[in-house]
Amino acid sequence: MKLDQLQESNKHLLLKCISGSQAYGLALPTSDVDIKGVFVLPKNEFYGLDFVDQINNATNDEMYYELRRFFDLLLKNNPNLLELLSTPEDCILYKHPLMQEIKPELFLSRLCAQTFGQYAYTQIKKARGLNKKIVNPLDKKRKTILDFCYVVKGHQSVLLAQWLNDMNFQQQDCGLVAIDHMRDMYALFHVSQVVDTIRFNGIYSSENANDVLLTSIPAGVESLAVMSFNKDGYSKYCKDYKLYWEWVEQRNEERYANTISHGKNYDAKNMMHVFRLLNMAEEIARFKRVNVRRSERDYLLKIRAGEFEYQDLVDQAE
C-alpha cells in the first residue's frame, strides 16, 4: 500500500481529516494543512509479507494509520488518535459508514491523565531545549581535543594549545604516555628528545578524533610536562555540537523567526500546545469527551504570540 493509492481512491480508506491547528481553530495565515486518516489493507497485504501499519509523506504532513494500529493506539489513549476520532465535522474530508460505530467514549479512560499529561510535558521540554539553544549557541567552528587538554605549570594549569604555542611545538610532533592510576592524565614528550628513527603519533589523529593518541617512548626519557584531558567534557561537547547544528539545519525558519521576534527565547507554539493538552485532559475527566476545537482560542494564541514569560507559563502548567 502506497500513499498515492490512498490519495487517488477511497477504496481502502476509512477516514480522512484535516488535523492540527486547522482542526483546533488555532491556525494562522502561515499554518500548514495537516491530513490524518485511517485505512484498511488489501487481504493479500494484510496476511502477506508486505504489512504496513502507517503511511505518511516525507514531511509527515499527511499520515494514515492501518486499522489495527489505529485501535491499538486508541486503547492506549494516544492523544493524536483520540483527536482524530473526534475531528470536528467541518474538517472531515471522508468518513466511511463503519466509522460511525467507532466512538471516542468507547476508549476514554483514566489513562488520559498520563498520556495527555506526558505529551504536555514533552512540549515543555522542547520549549526548554530551544531556550537553551538560543541562550547558549555553539560556534560553527568545531572545537578539537586541544581545547579540552591542560598542562600543569607550577601550581596552575594552562591550556595545551597555549603551552604548545609558547614552546613553538606542533601537536603532531608530541607523544603521550598514560600515567598509571591517574584517569586521563598523561606524560607529554616531544620528538626533539629522541633520535630521528622513533616515530611520534601526536596528541590526536584528526580534528574529529574521539580520543588522544599514545606513543611508545624509550626508557629514560624525561617528560616535558604532565597533561590532563577532560574527556567527559569533550564527549559532551561533541554530542551538544552535533545536536545543535542538526537542529539549525532542520529547524523551521519561520517558526524560529517568530520565537526570536517575541524575544522570550522559547518556542511559543510548544507552550501553546502544553495548555491545549492539559485543558483537553481536564475536559475528558469532567465531561467524558474530547473537545478538539478549542474554546480558549484567544488565550492560546496569546501564548503563541509570546505575550507571557516562559517561567510563568511553566508555573501555570505545573
The pLDDT of residue 202 is above 90: yes
Residue 92 has what pLDDT?
97
Separation of alpha carbons 299 and 313, rounded Å: 12
Say if CB 229 and CB 184 are below 8 A apart. yes
Assess whether pLDDT exceeds 80 at residue 128.
no
Inter-residue contact 269 to 63 (CB < 8 Å): no
d(CA 110, CA 174): 64
Q: How many CB atoms lie within 10 A of CB 260?
A: 11
Query: Between β-strands 149-153 and 156-159, what pairing exists: parallel, antiparallel or unpaired?
Result: antiparallel
Task: Calculate mean pLDDT across residues 240-267.
Answer: 71
Encoded amino acid at 118, one letter: Q
Question: Count of alpha carbons within 13 Å of 143, Cβ hemisphere only?
Answer: 20
Return d(Cα 26, Cα 44) in angstroms, integer: 41
pTM for the whole structure? 0.64
CA angle 171, 174, 178 (to 5 degrees): 115
The CA distance from 158 to 226, in Å, is 11
Task: Specify the higher pLDDT residue, 134 or 28.
Answer: 28
Q: Shortest CA distance to 189 belongs to which of 210, 167, 209?
A: 167
Kindly indicate whether the domain formed by 1-107 is annotated with CATH number 3.30.460: yes
Those residues whose C-beta lies under 8 Å from the C-beta of residue 270, and which sit 6 or more positions away, are: 123, 124, 126, 127, 130
Q: E strands along the chain, which residues?
A: 13-19, 34-39, 54-56, 62-66, 92-95, 149-153, 156-159, 174-178, 185-190, 225-229
Locate CATH 3.30.460 in the chain: 1-107
CA distance 141 to 155: 32
pLDDT at residue 247 in the model? 76
- CA separation for the pair 3, 16 (Å, rounded): 13
pLDDT at res. 254: 65
Burial class (CB in 10 A: 0-12, 13-18, 19+), 248: middle
pLDDT in tens, 211-234: 999 999 998 999 999 999 999 999
Q: In what order do the strands lie in the sheet with 225-229?
A: 156-159, 149-153, 225-229, 185-190, 174-178
- Burial class from Cβ neighbours inside 10 Å (0-12, 13-18, 19+) for residue 69 reads middle
Calpha distance 219→193 (Å, rounded) = 12
User: 4-55, pLDDT tens digit by residue?
Assistant: 888 888 899 999 999 999 999 999 888 889 999 999 998 888 888 888 999 9
Instruction: State how far the Cα of 177 lies from the Cα of 167, in Å rounded to an integer.
Output: 19
Classify residue 58 by its DSSP letter: T
pLDDT in tens, 275-312: 999 999 999 999 999 999 999 999 999 998 888 888 89
Share of the chain above pLDDT 70, in %: 92
Give residue 219's Cα distance to chain centre: 50
Look at the alpha carbons of 215, 219, 221, 225 in this order and tell me if their dihedral is positive or negative: positive
Grid cell digits, residue 278: 492539559
Q: Check: CB of residue 208 under 8 Å from CB of residue 217.
A: no
